[in-house]
Amino acid sequence: MDADRRGALALIGGGAVLAAAPGWATSLSLPPLELTASQLTQGGWARGIARGGLTLDLDGAAIPTAPDGTFLIAFDRDARPAATLSGKAANGWAASRGLTIAPRAWQIERIDTPLRPPGVPDTAFQRIRADEVAQIAAARARVTEAQGWRQAMVRPAAGRVSGRFGAQRIYRGTPGAYHTGLDIAAGSGTAIHAPADGVVVLAAAAAFTLEGKLLLIDHGMGLSSAFLHCSAHAVREGDAVRQGQPIAAVGMTGRATGLHLHWGLRWRSARLDPLLFLPAGAG
């Protein structure tokens, strides 16, 4: 990219905009690439629109666009502070824009005891777990036409937030695994609703060892929700669900110390903060 073109990039309204290069401005009245809504922070996301058939990549990874040009990108809990969104047109025009990903102040608890080394699981557990992990991987690999990724999400269950995404314990300087979802404490059988439109890609009939009765919903474009520890499911694999539809009930199946819903959100392999997908104040 030459300096001229780099100079044509602009930030408008907090969203990254690739202003048209010479020749483009005459054929397009709107910028070829812009973010239309965003939470540019670790665990956050952005939606945007690419006009004129641009092909996109984020840090070198191809980003698909819907037929109307809209797209979704998201940022892992430990995402680096800078990312680059690039667009290329069929005529060779190309530009890129740096995105600043704000760091988060995660809830960190320092524990003055050493991290206990994990015990060696017995072979029966290892066999069962390998099968469960394979089922989860197969479900996550499914590509659906779900459109929920376009929506502002709704809270899947009423109840007190009992565990925040990203929280981590540090044992005498050694970090333990961080919390990968949002915990909502609720009574047994409390209805769980779909936070956005989607397709059920996994409804574990028997409780998994860790996740319990796990429900996975694909929202399209690489975005998916996981609902852990359910007492029962109200939908089956392959079902299309609408935002707000009852999908399951709160329980404590699998490895859970109390009745709660653990709601995890992922985009591709990036783990996301569910609170950033809800309207402000809905947490």
Contacts with Zn ion by CB under 5 A lie at 163, 181, 183, 262
Q: What is the DSSP string of 116-140?
A: PPPPPPPHHHHHHHHHHHHHHHHHH
When the beta carbons of 181 and 220 are compared against Zn ion, the nearer one is: 181
Nearest to 81 by CA among 108, 49, 44: 44
Dihedral pair phi/psi, residue 234, rounded to 5°:
-110, 5
What element of type H or E holds 45? strand 45-50
When the beta carbons of 52 and 163 are compared against Zn ion, the nearer one is: 163
Dist CA 169 CA 140 (whole Å): 28
Minimum CB separation of residue 111 from Zn ion in Å reads 18
Minimum CB separation of residue 162 from Zn ion in Å reads 8
Minimum CB separation of residue 163 from Zn ion in Å reads 5
Residue whose CB is nearest to Zn ion in the complex, by number: 262
When the beta carbons of 33 and 261 are compared against Zn ion, the nearer one is: 261
Minimum CB separation of residue 179 from Zn ion in Å reads 6
Give all strands of the β-sheet with 191-193 in edge-to-edge order: 191-193, 246-249, 232-233
When the beta carbons of 163 and 283 are compared against Zn ion, the nearer one is: 163
